[in-house]
A and B are shown apart, each in its own frame.
Chain A
Amino acid sequence: MTDLLAQAQRLTAPEIDYLAVAPILVVLGAACLSVLVEAFLPKAQRWSTQVVLTLLTLAAAGASLIAYANDALPQGKVTLAGTVAVDKPVIFLWATLLVLGFGSVLLIADRSVEPGGAFVAEASVLPGTKQDRAQANRFGMQTEVFPLTLFALGGMMVFVAANDLLTMFIALEVLSLPLYLMCGLARRRRLLSQEAAVKYFLLGAFASAFFLYGVALLYGYAGSVKLADIAAATSGTDRSDTLLYAGFGLLVVGLLFKASVGPFHAWTPDVYQGSPTPVTAFMAACTKVAAFGGILRVLFVAFERSSWEWNGVLWAVAIASMVIGAVLGLTQTDVKRMIAYSSVAHAGFLLVGSISLSQEGLSGTMFYLMAYGFTTIAAFGVVSLVRNADGEATHLSQWAGLAKRSPVTAAVFTFLLLALAGIPLTSGFIGKFVVFAAALESGMAPLVVVALVASAVAAFFYLRVIVLMYFSEPAADGPTVSVPGAMTTIAITMGAAITLVLGVWPSFALDWAGAGGFIF
């Protein structure tokens, strides 16, 4: 006991490099401020204040990130007593997250596509009642989504930078809890939305319990939860391998769940379909970036030396994910579900890059994440435009002949689908190319063959939508395409433009992604 007391007295306050962590502090600080805005401003002023505050916050966080990136040591810094590492990959992922977050906030804030916005005016009103029909037509939304978005984004930023497993667990919860709530806030089809929230919450909490048990077992294995200490422990041989394998397995289940990989994807289609579309865009793009950022760091820093022990398992998971995503995507009749299964297939491709454990694999996976994020945000932005009297018309049959009614929307969506399929001159092609090239170099040829077959199968269901839009007769009572307001237009244009730029001129982003490795 005296031993422990002596240990406690030796504690000193850790050094904090404020410039390095400034983007996190700005985002989380503004999230708290945004909660105060909710509490003290009258309802009429909240929407405009929150939108300005949120967008300014993201711009300020981006500015401080640029200041740090210009100023930093060549390889970055580890700060906050070794719990947060801001290195080159983190700078890349933070920049991606901030820009994707900016696009998502624009989609979330838009009130022109759906009068009043995609979010419920009063979340406490019961669905299906008279008050609910009144709130559906009322102009105004539950503006709590803005602080929730900022908290989730802050959690994602900490998650990709976390250098120990406890920080990673807290960040995982900080990013997940707001997302659970945001899923349940749709203005229309509220039963579906609430159901999505319950499913996401119960399965997400279940998965984070697995993650946490993995953390505990690895703590027992290595005597520390720092990734570097776990890496050091795996080179010794006198410790219990049972704890290592069990801990690694449970930890990875939690991470793969968040990234909606393979057999742990069960929540993805339901939650993507039920959530308000702007939230789906945010989840699909930003959560994927954050989850794979975390997976990359854990695999590269902590478990690289034990890779021959777990490689086979993650091979199987990657194959399962690609096959499930591609095959089940074929049978979907709902656009949002189809993109959800496509995200499961993409998660498999990303995992192929992650387990190659080479510098090329790291930069390729990060480039893929960036490319996929922007394409997905723009795709969900387009999905939110196609509407009928009940809200969004997401059933595929309603998309028949869309090109005749709205050639521009159909052309943009076609371009985005081609990017998801990985056709040349889009970012999707370059992303797949660099990831598969890295995997081949690491001697994973069989996995690359499976990935190519899965891409070909997945291309079929993207092309089916294109054929449907261009070569079918529109139904008489089909949906109309809303003319988007400035915010949605900016978000879709940004996503589509970056998809094109990364496809035609990828060298800038590839160089940036390959600028350096993890430090710890």
Chain B
Amino acid sequence: MTPTYYLLLSALLFSLGAVGVLVRRNAIVVFMCIELMLNAVNLSLVTFARINGGLDGQVMAFFVMVVAAAEVVVGLTIIMAIFKTRRSASVDDSNLLKY
């Protein structure tokens, strides 16, 4: 089984995440799409570690997981705060700042 397939899968997942960020309206779903992008990167890192025959990529994947967890904490706090105020998590409703 050639590792290239995993790289393609990772690129596909990353693109799906990126498209999701651009088209979805709910802040939580947008945020989940960003997490999908981070995990797609993890798959790439582990695959490249396999191709290069080192441990670096796998170690990096752990770092990315920790960062993603920290990002969830901060992100959900911010989204919760604005949801409690507006009773909506739609990113289209936050439109006071423009031009």
Contact = CB atoms under 8 A, between A and B. Distances in A.
A201 B30 CA distance: 11
A220 B30 CA distance: 28
The B interface, classified by DSSP as helix, strand, loop or mixed, is helix
A384 B79 CA distance: 27
Contacts of B31: 202, 205
B21 interface: yes
Tier of interface size on chain B:
35 or more
Given A166-B63, A220-B44, A209 B52 contact: no
A371 interface: no
Interface in B18-41: 18, 21, 27, 30-31, 34, 37-38, 40-41
Interface string B48-84: 1001111111001001100100110011011101101
B25 to A, nearest CB: 12
The A interface, classified by DSSP as helix, strand, loop or mixed, is helix
Interface string A201-216: 1100110010011011
Contacts of B63: 166, 169-170
B20 to A, nearest CB: 10
A198 B67 contact: no
Interface string A195-233: 111110110011001001101110110011100000000
B70 A173 contact: yes
Contact of A201 (B51, B64, B78, B97): B78
B70 A196 contact: no
Nearest to B93: A195
Contacts of B99: 331
Contacts of A212: 38, 41, 64
Interface of A: 3-4, 7-8, 123-124, 126-128, 166, 169-170, 173, 177, 180-181, 184, 190-192, 194-199, 201-202, 205-206, 209, 212-213, 215-217, 219-220, 223-225, 269-270, 273-274, 331
Interface of B: 7, 14, 17-18, 21, 27, 30-31, 34, 37-38, 40-41, 44-45, 47-48, 51-57, 60, 63-64, 67, 70-71, 74-75, 77-79, 81-82, 84-86, 91, 94, 96-99
23 contacts: A3-B53, A8-B55, A166-B63, A170-B63, A177-B70, A180-B78, A195-B94, A195-B97, A197-B81, A201-B74, A202-B27, A202-B34, A202-B75, A205-B75, A206-B18, A209-B17, A209-B38, A216-B45, A216-B48, A217-B44, A220-B51, A269-B97, A270-B98
